[in-house]
């Protein structure tokens, strides 16, 4: 958003003549120091746990308990620990990681496409029952995911779907909130005249959606995709209810499984800290890189 940088520059510029130039600069410097100091302290709060796990995963189990948690110990055991994380139980950690990638990646991609198609249909066509359909889906936004998970398990057990990849993947394909966002965005941005022109050229309705609709909707689709990706990746209750075979676990369930064994076998501390570190790194990087897309999508949604 270039307008904000411009306006803050003008804000600074209009500041100067109001007060004496020197006093203004002094005040600005002290308020900059104060604000930055607050921001640094808060940043420490958010980063300390991650720093701790980074340190902890370089230690042996013995050092973990005998040395200060914020300081590296003499013995650097990071590579040993990570090797054990990756090789334990025939590489089950890698399996969990790939499961998470499958659930979140495939789930979010298909969910975005389905939400786009539905949202576009509700925004750009006038048909009987449209408001009833939209109202029902909107109600779905407010239903807590944990409320539907238990009955869904009963339903899926009867259909023979419980404890399969499908039992986690199928619920991940539905994003009422994504459809809501796509509908608003399609109403505001997809030009009806463009659709009319394509119709006159003889394009079919589905082709119009796939060529014009999806292209215009792209910024909203990025937002929906990211919401759904993080939502599925972070989900715990649904896979916990659905899955009993540990080979199907996503990474969240798997790591909790390891943690629950530390009381009996302290070596699981090393596996858990190493596993937590490995699972955080890709996501932390993704959050930092993708942060501007979140902002972009949200702002456009709010402005338009």
Partner 1 sequence: MSSTPAAAPPATSQEDREIRTGRSRQAGTSRGNRSRAAARAPWILLAPFLALFTLTFVLPIIVALISSFTKVTRSGLFGEKGVSSGFAGFDNYAQALGDANFIASIGRVLLFGIVQVPVMIVLCTILALLLESASARWPGFFRAAYFMPYGVPGVIATILWSFLYVPGLSPFIDIAGSMGITLDFLGPDHVLWSIANIVTWSYTGYNMLIIVAQLKAIPGELYEAARVDGASPWRIARSIQLPLITPALVLTTVFSIIGTLQLFAEAQVLKTSAPAIDSQYTPNLSAYSTAFAYNDYNVAAAQAVLIALAAFILSFVFLRLTNRKSS
| Torsion sign, CA atoms 39, 42, 44, 46 | negative
Per-residue binding letters, 231-250, with partner 1 (x by CB under 8 A): xxxxxxxx-xx---------
CB of 148 to partner 1, least distance (A): 4
Please choose, out of 72-80, 81-89, 90-98, 124-132, the segment that lies near partner 1 by the rule CB under 8 A. 124-132
CB atoms within 10 A of CB 168: 27
Question: Looking at 16, 43, 94, 265, which residue binds partner 1 (CB under 8 A)?
Answer: 43
CB of 9 to partner 1, least distance (A): 9
Question: Looking at 92, 108, 118, 162, which residue binds partner 1 (CB under 8 A)?
Answer: 118
219 contact partners, CB below 8 Å, separation of at least 6: 185, 296, 297, 300
* Contact yes or no for 135/217 (Cβ under 8 A): no
By CB under 8 A, tell whether 31 contacts partner 1: yes
CB of 89 to partner 1, least distance (A): 18
Question: Looking at 74, 135, 263, 264, which residue binds partner 1 (CB under 8 A)?
Answer: 263
Q: Is 50 helix (H, G, I), strand (E, B) or coil?
A: helix
Per-residue binding letters, 74-113, with partner 1 (x by CB under 8 A): ----------------------------------------
Q: Which DSSP string corresponds to 173-239?
A: T--HHHHHHHHHHHHHHS-HHHHHHHHHTT--HHHHIIIIIHHHHHHHHHHHHHHHHHHHHH--HHH
CB-based burial of residue 128 (10 Å sphere; 0-12 exposed, 13-18 middle, 19+ buried)? exposed
Q: Which is nearer to partner 1, 77 or 238 (CB)?
A: 238
By CB under 8 A, tell whether 1 contacts partner 1: yes
Please choose, out of 65-73, 78-86, 88-96, the segment that lies near partner 1 by the rule CB under 8 A. 65-73
Under DSSP, the state recorded for 43 is H
CB of 86 to partner 1, least distance (A): 17
Q: Which is nearer to partner 1, 109 or 286 (CB)?
A: 286
Site for partner 1 in 137-166 (CB under 8 A): 137, 140-148, 150-152, 154-155
Please choose, out of 43-51, 79-87, 90-98, the segment that lies near partner 1 by the rule CB under 8 A. 43-51
For 106, 126, 150, 192, 204, the CA distances from 200, given in Å and listed in that order, are 36, 19, 50, 12, 10
By CB under 8 A, tell whether 216 contacts partner 1: no
Cα(211)–Cα(213) distance, rounded to whole angstroms?
6
For helices 165-172 and 107-124, angle between their N-to-C axes, nearest 10 degrees: 30
By CB under 8 A, tell whether 135 contacts partner 1: no
Per-residue binding letters, 172-211, with partner 1 (x by CB under 8 A): -xxxxx-xxx--x--xx---x--xx--xx---xxx--x--
């Amino acid at each position: 958003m270039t307008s904000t940088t411009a306006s803050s520059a003008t804000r600074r510029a209009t500041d100067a003549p109001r007060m004496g130039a020197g006093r203004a600069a002094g005040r600005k410097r002290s308020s900059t120091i104060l604000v930055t100091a607050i921001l640094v302290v808060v940043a420490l709060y958010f980063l300390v746990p991650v720093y701790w796990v980074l340190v902890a995963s370089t230690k042996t189990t013995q050092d973990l308990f005998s040395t200060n948690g914020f300081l590296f110990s003499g013995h650097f055991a990071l590579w040993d620990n990570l090797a054990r994380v990756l090789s334990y139980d025939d590489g089950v950690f890698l399996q969990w990681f790939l499961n998470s990638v499958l659930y979140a990646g495939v789930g979010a991609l298909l969910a975005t496409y389905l939400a786009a198609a539905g949202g576009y249909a509700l925004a750009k066509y006038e048909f009987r029952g449209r408001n009833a359909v939209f109202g029902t889906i909107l109600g779905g936004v407010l239903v807590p995911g944990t409320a539907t998970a238990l009955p869904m398990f009963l339903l899926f057990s009867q259909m023979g779907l419980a404890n399969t990849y499908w039992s986690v993947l199928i619920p991940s394909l539905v994003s009422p909130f994504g459809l809501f966002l796509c509908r608003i965005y399609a109403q505001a941005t997809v030009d009806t005249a463009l659709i009319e022109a394509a119709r006159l050229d003889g394009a079919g309705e589905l082709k119009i959606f796939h060529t014009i609709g999806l292209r215009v909707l792209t910024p909203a689709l990025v937002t929906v995709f990211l919401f759904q990706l993080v939502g599925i990746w972070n989900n715990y209750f649904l896979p916990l209810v659905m899955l009993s075979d540990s080979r199907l676990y996503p990474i969240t369930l798997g790591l909790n499984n390891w943690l629950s064994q530390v009381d009996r076998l302290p070596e699981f501390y090393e596996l858990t800290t190493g596993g937590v570190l490995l699972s955080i790194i890709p996501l932390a990087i993704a959050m930092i890189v993708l942060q501007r897309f979140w902002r972009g999508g949200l702002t456009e949604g709010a402005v338009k």
